[in-house]
Structures are given as structure tokens and as C-alpha cells.
Copies of this chain bind each other. A is one copy, B any other.
Amino acid sequence: MDEIEKRLLELVPKNMAERGMITLDALLAPIKDILNRRRFPDAPLLEMQIEWMLQLLSSLDSDKDPKAIRVGEREARVATPLVSRLAAGFNHGVGRSGHVTAPQPKAVGASLMQQICNAMVTDAIRRLGLPNIRHGLVLPLSTGMSIGLSLAALRRELGVRTVLYPRVDHKSPLRGVALTGIEIKPMPTILEGDAVRADMDAIEKTIKNTRDASVIATTTFFPPRESDPVKDIARLCEDHQVPLVINNAYGVQSESVMKSIRSAIDAGRVDIVVQSTDKNFLTPVGGSIVVAPKPETIEQVAETYAGRASAAPVVQLLASLTAIGMKRYQELRAEQKKNRQLLGALLQETAEKVGQRLLDVENAVSCAMTIDGMNAHEIGARLYNERVTGPRAVSQGEYGSCIDDYPHSYVVMNAAIGASQWDVERAIEKLFKVVAGL
């Protein structure tokens, strides 16, 4: 930069040179701020600032050194500049063999980038509702895989052998646990009105009778399933000294979900909270965020990933957080809330028109209408053909309701963060068209 300034002063009039440096400084200021403070920025950065930041960081990695002499078996050599661009230049990935957040001597820039991202997302999650978590980590893995890694870390450190899992009809977390070989004890759910809820009595009973137990609680799923009462579960875990992992897949977007987790941490024992990057922070699919009230827990999870990992999910999250910023995130949250209300109201209207009704289930993101007596699969297929993506149509008694013999068929729609009023209104129109047209 000093070179630039010196040159400017020789080549253009002094006041112009000074003006140029002011512009450059103003442009770099938020980048420096991020490097310095590693906080979730209030205001978003411009695309060019983000690109510049990434370029600066990736330029610290040894594969960029034109004078490096490379005699390792793995030196981040890439076939063409295009391939490097596809990785935003972070060709060394992140991590070291056996520790996914350890500084990598060949990849100083990637190491720094990862630290910044981890610190920034931790700051974001703290400010978005969990001030009582202390440390966080982005894993280039699905939420399900990260739950698996979390449990494997808890096994290594605390001797966990079994996990109690209040039933959620979702394959991914189950497979994540299956990978670890830890025994899953499925906990039953109960039907209360329309809602399907965790059976707290069963959990309490089982926890007492299980050695080396742990628990997975779930905050976000589709109606009729409701969030698990994480505060109660956390207390139970505290009482029985049992580790608790919360699957908070897309709960960061919801103030109420975050509030429930916050009070769970305050009131009881929560070891780890796992959430998706894409479902909460508008990134491409592929990463998850693990946060914990105790810093050492995160270290332990980090040591559970075997080898170096793709930098892509980390870079994408860093870019996304930086492009959104706290202020806009709060606006997005407010829009989500408004759209969720709209979705409820419109679905109610539609239900009335077609002789169905809304399921009376508490859910911050999703909403369901019965389609009793109708062909759920047909409705699903027709909505797909109408270019409505993401609704779920479930037949009475089918897998998906998180309980055997759920008494209704129903269709679920979401008003998730990033969705627009247009989406909600059009989806309802199409639903009406489809349902009325059957």
C-alpha cells in the first residue's frame, strides 16, 4: 500500500493521490475490521470487498508462492487456474491430518480464513440468541454427519455408548449416528391434539436405566411434529449427568427457537448445538455449524474429523455472512416471521374453502393443512409439476409424521428465511388449484 501511495504522489497531482488513497482505505476498512475483530459485521460488505478479502487470504498459502519448492506428496497443485478459481484459491483445504482446525503450515491463509469464519459465525449465533455459547466450528459436512462426529467425540471423551433419540422421521441424523456405531434408543412420541411431541416420561425412565447414555433433541421439524422441550430435556440431562446434543437444523432463523435453547443452556446441560449453514445463512448446501457452551467441546469435535477437508463450505459461509451482515439478517428474520403468519392465514382460508382445516401445531417455520380423504401422493406430484418446490404431502399413517398411525393426511409448507411473500402467495394459489382440481 505504501508503494501505491508513493507512486500516486509521483504520477498524479497530490490532492488526487490523497483522494485515491482515501477511497482505497475506505474500501479496505471493513476488511481490516473483519481481520481484526472477527465479528459478524453489522453492515454487509460489497461483493468486491469480499472477493478481495478472499483473494488476500488465499494468497498467503504456500501454493501461491512463486518461489516455493514443492517436494511433498500433497502440495495443492491444481490442473488449471479454473480449478483454483472453483476453490476460491484455497487449494490446500482446511485443517491438518487429524485436526480440522489446526493451523496448516502450508496453508497460512486458509488457516486464518477458517479461524475468522469460526469466530464470525460464533459471534453471529451468540448475537442471534445464544449469548451463552462460547466457541463454534464450521464443519464441511451435513448436519447429520456433524451430529455423528459430535457423538463420536463424546464417546471418546466421556464414554458415551448409547443415544436416546425422541423420534423424528428424518434419515440423516440416524445415519450420522449409525456411522459411529453408537447404539440408538428411539424414544416414542405422543399425540396431543394434532401435535406430535416427545414422550418426556419415556425419556426420563430410559435415561435412568441406561449406562453411558446421551440424548439428541430436535428443535426444528415439520408439523405435526413439534420442537422437543429442550429446557426440560437439558434439566434431565443435568440431573443425570448425561450429555445432550441439540439438532437445531434450521432454528437460528427463529428467535423463539433460539430463546428455548438459550434457556436450556442456562437451566440445564447442553453439550453441543448443531445447525445447518445453508438453512440458516443462505449458503450452498454442504456445511454445518457446531457450537458449545464449553470451548473444549469444540476442540474435541474438531479432533474427530479425520484429515484435511474441503475449504468450500467454510469459504461459502464466510462470504455469505459477510454479504448479509447483522442488520440485514434481522430484517430477513422479520420477513420470515411475517411470511410465516401470512402462510398460516392463507392456508387457513384455503382449508376452509376446501373443507379441510389447519393442524393445530406450534411451529416457527412450517404450517400444515389436512388433506383427509385426498390422495396425498397425487397432490405432491401435481405440486412438483406446478413448480412448487419443498411442500410435503403425507398420507395418513405414513412415515413422516413421527408417530405410528397419525390420524390425518396433510400437506406442509414452509415460510423459511429467504423465502418471499410471492412464494407464499403463489404456493397457496397452486395448492388451491391442485386440491380443488382433484
Asked if B12 and A98 sit within 8 Å, CB to CB, the answer is: no
Q: Establish whether residues A19 and B384, one from each chain, have CB atoms under 8 Å apart when the complex forms.
A: yes
A126 → chain B closest CB, angstroms? 20
If A79-B323, A390-B75 touch, does A36 touch B143 (CB 8 Å cutoff)?
no
Q: Which of A49-57, A206-214, A259-267 contacts B (4 or more CB under 8 A)?
A: A49-57
Which residue of A47, A77, A174 has the most chain B CB atoms within 10 A of its CB atom? A77
Q: For A90, what are the chain B residues with a Cβ–Cβ distance below 8 Å?
A: 284
- Interface: A313 (CB within 8 A): yes
A178 contacts across to B, CB distance below 8 A: 152, 156, 304, 306
The answer to whether A179 has its CB under 8 Å from any CB of chain B is yes
B15:A79 contact, CB within 8 angstroms:
no
Q: Does A218 contact B (CB under 8 A)?
A: no
| CB <8 Å contact, B387 and A4 | no
- Nearest-CB distance from A393 to chain B (Å)? 12
Name the residue of chain B whose CB is nearest to the CB of A176: B306
Please report the C-alpha to C-alpha distance between residue A262 and residue B11 in the assembled complex, in whole angstroms.
29
Q: Tell me if A79 and B23 are in contact (CB < 8 A).
A: no
Select one of B35, B83, B115, B303 contacting A282, CB under 8 A: B83
How many residues in A have their beta carbons less than 8 Å from beta carbons of B?
152
Nearest CB of B to A98, in Å: 3
Nearest chain B CB to A8's CB is how many angstroms away?
6
With contacts A27-B64, A181-B152, A310-B313 taken as known, whether A282 is within 8 angstroms of B79 at the C-beta atoms is yes
Which residues of A386-438 have CB atoms within 8 Å of chain B's CB atoms? 386-391, 413-419, 422-424, 426-427, 430
Any chain B CB within 8 A of the CB of A353? no
Interface check A193, CB cutoff 8 A: no
* Given contacts A71-B390, A284-B76, A16 and B143 within 8 Å (CB-CB): no
B residues less than 8 Å from A174 (CB atoms): 98, 306
Q: B56–A4 contact, CB under 8 A?
A: yes
Docked-complex contact B426 and A142, CB < 8 angstroms:
no
- Bound-state CA distance A388–B92 (Å) is 16
A319 at the interface (CB under 8 A from B): yes
Instruction: Identify which of A104-112, A195-203, A290-298 touches chain B.
Output: A104-112
A303 to B172, CA, bound (A): 10
CB atoms of A15 and B324 under 8 A apart = no
Interface residues of A in 91-120 (CB under 8 A from B): 91-93, 97-98, 103, 105-106, 108-109, 111-112, 115
What is the chain B residue whose CB lies nearest that of A29? Answer: B66
Residue of B nearest to A65 (CB): B23
What is the distance, in angstroms, from A138's C-beta to the closest C-beta of chain B?
11
A158 within 8 A of B: no
Q: Which residues of B contact A7 (CB under 8 A)?
A: 35-36, 112
- A286, closest chain B residue (CB): B310
Q: Which residues of B contact A304 (CB under 8 A)?
A: 175, 178-179
- Given the known interface contacts A73-B365, A87-B316, A390-B70, the answer about A283 and B79 at a Cβ–Cβ threshold of 8 Å is yes
Q: Are A175 and B77 in contact (CB under 8 A)?
A: no
Contact with B along A138-173 (1 / 0, CB 8 A): 001111110111001001100000000000001111
CB contacts (< 8 Å) of A40 on chain B: these are: none
11 more CB-based (< 8 A) A-B contacts, given A71-B413, A148-B179:
A3-B32, A7-B112, A17-B108, A19-B105, A20-B108, A48-B64, A76-B285, A77-B418, A145-B307, A152-B181, A310-B312
Give 6 closest A-B pairs by Cβ, nearest first: A72-B390, A286-B310, A142-B307, A93-B285, A144-B306, A181-B181
